[in-house]
Amino acid sequence: MTPVTRDARSPEPSPPPKPSTKPDDSLMTRTGGAYIPPARLRMMQAQITDKTSAAFQRLAWEALKKSINGLINKVNVSNIGIIVRELFAENVVRGRGLLCRAIQQAQTASPTFTHVYAALVAIINAKLNCPIHHLTALCGGVQFPQIGELLLHRLILQFKRGFKRNDKTLCMSATRFTAHLINQQVAHEVLALEVLTLLLETPTDDSVEVAISFLQEVGQKLTELSPRGISAIFERLRHILHEAQLDKRVQYMIEVLFAVRKDGFKAHPALLEELDLVEEEEQFTHLVTLDEVTNAQDMLNVFKLDTEYEANEEKYATIKKQLLDDSDDSEEGSGSDDESGSGADSADEHDDTAPIIDNTETNMLALRRTIYLTIKSSLDFEETAHKLLKLNLKPGQEVELCHMVLDCCAQERTYEKFFGLLAQRFCMINRKYQDPFEQIFRDTYDTVHKLETSKLRNVACLFSHLLYTDAISWGVLAHVRLNEEDTTSSSRIFIKILFQELSEYMGLPRLNERIKDPTLAEAFEGIFPRDDPKNTRFSINFFTSIGLGGITDDLREHLKAQPKPTAVVAPIVKDGEEGSSSSSSSSSESSSSSESSYDSDSSDSDSEAERRKRKRKKKRKSKSSRKSDKRSKRRKTASSKSERGEASSSRGHEQSSSRRREESSTSRRHERREKSSSSSRRR
């Protein structure tokens, strides 16, 4: 009995199980174990002859996972057809869980390629679900698995999980992918309406933001498929906007969304022309709701031993042959179409190589006309902002929009607050509108003398509104220099209206606080100058004359603290000091000074006496004429002799009075000379 047992034990081979256990041990972990190079993996598969063994199936599973991940990571718009054929070469039915997980991970990592992944899912869903009866027969009467539905279930569960956790990033990723699947008609539009209703039922900043991003992606398709549903959603958004309980940023996002809707979602098309690869009649749409999805079938992501491995592989080989043949036929047809159209395209490209340069500014004139008509046809500034935002201005055209707002404001007879609110809204929506308005302020101030009075007033009121609301920086006031040399009458009127409007908006105390702000000292340095007392007085007098003297209190104190200028009599004091210091020439200087003072006094007295004589002569003539008139009226019958006597007597009186005056004047002259000589002697 012992030899028999030895013979029975001796043929048992010990080495064969070792190669099967080594890869099995390295792949037993959750992450797949250590990295195995593809060449070594193929060698390990070749060493295992039994395809029904767990080791062989695990190695095949790892190879399938790596292949699917590599293909998903390489997909883009240009190679999507090639990637689909390579995916069909792999057993996507067995690895449908791996495929859905790889697509979800890739979309989360790069959301900008969401439309590409959605197009890939649409092609796989159409190929594997349209000929259901054919594939079911190939699978032995078993319903063929639906990969698109599995991906939708996982996306819905991902959205629910993020919604419960208040994870905005997770919700944004799931809703964006779902929106593109709805655009590709993989999912029904009812799912979009359910998601939007859930997000807007109890609106918060995050939920409304997620709903807005979802609507931007799916809005065009919903408008086409369910116009009443999307109208109800926008009514709900309008109600939320009127409640004004959300953050200002979210409210602006809602306003922008309304503008995008009025534009027909042109900036967010449902399907790109390059990714419209599936015919509508071939696509299979899954009607999935939020409540019915409860299982993500996560067991499909891990390895599971298949007892009928070879039979299932043969079935998929038959399906793969059919799928690849169909894809080859479709590619040949599309290739012939592309070749036929490539000639015309190349000819068109050859014709369009020479760029067309428009020097007539036709496009700019058309843009200005559009902006003007939009402003004039709107009821309020919010409607105007919505309409102008949907114009999709090219880079650099923001400056033209700002100029048009200013020009329209200047053309009005009186200032309308509509334009100030409109300019303020644009400056607060995007910073790219602030710099143009600040530059326009500088240019307008430099050329303000070219504006009429009404236009000047409107422009000043507009900029005062922008400064009061902090829509533009107060640093633009550094461009203003308030002095007699650098200002004109027009610029002074502009400054006057600007500060009067600011004081009316803000009040004098708040305006004074803003002027005293140390961070704005450079901005007001030119308006309230301290470099020259002359400029300081000019600024004080200017603001006092316009009724804003209260903002110049600091300037007044600064001016008082400055040293006073020397008096005009300083040179006379200096001459006196020099005369007292020189002892040798004191007598000569005193005599010369006395003579000069005497001459000056005499000349002054002579001139004054002559003036007085002339005045007296005029008075006498007027009196004599009056007296003669009276006498002629009273004494018409008097003789000529009496008249001559009276005339001679009057002349004698005049001569005597003149002599007396001359004597008095000469006596005064002598007194002045004596006083001047005595003062010179004292010096």
CA 133 to chain centre: 57
Q: What whole-number distance in Å separates Cα of residue 213 and Cα of residue 175?
A: 8
Determine phi and psi for 584, rounding to 5 degrees. Answer: -70, -35
- Residue intervals of the chain classified under CATH 1.25.40.180 are 36-184+286-334
Amino acid identity at 469: T
Which pLDDT score, from 0 to 100, does residue 533 have?
Answer: 86
| CA 436/CA 395 separation, integer angstroms | 13
d(CA 672, CA 632): 46
DSSP 363-426: HHHHHHHHHHHHHHT-SSHHHHHHHHHTT-PPTTTHHHHHHHHHHHHHHSSS--HHHHHHHHHH
Q: Which fold has domain 371-561?
A: 1.25.40
% pLDDT > 70, the chain: 70
Architecture of the CATH domain 36-184+286-334: Alpha Horseshoe (1.25)
Cα angle value 630/632/637 (rounded, 5°)? 135
Q: How many CB atoms lie within 10 A of CB 214?
A: 24
pLDDT in tens, 176-190: 999 999 999 999 999
* Six token digits for residue 365: 């004139």
Query: Residue 611 has which token pair?
Result: 């003036």
Residue environment code for 507-518, b if the CB has 16+ CB neighbours within 10 A, otherwise e: eeeebbebbeee
Element (H, E) at 451: none
> Dihedral of CA 409/415/420/421: which sign?
negative
How many other C-beta atoms are found inside a 10 Å radius of the C-beta of residue 323? 22
Q: Which residues contact 136 (CB under 8 A, 6 or more apart)?
A: 142, 143, 144
**679 by DSSP, 3-state: which?**
helix
pLDDT for the residue 532: 84
- The three-class DSSP label of residue 285 is coil
Angle at 83 between CA 81 and CA 85, to 5 degrees: 75
Helix axes 248-262, 381-389, angle to 10 degrees: 60
What pLDDT does residue 56 have?
Answer: 83
Low-confidence ranges of the chain (pLDDT < 70): 1-35, 45, 49, 129-145, 326-361, 564-613, 615, 617-658, 660, 663-664, 667, 670, 674-683
Other CB atoms within 10 Å distance of the CB of residue 232? 14
How many CB atoms neighbour CB 79 within 10 A? Answer: 13
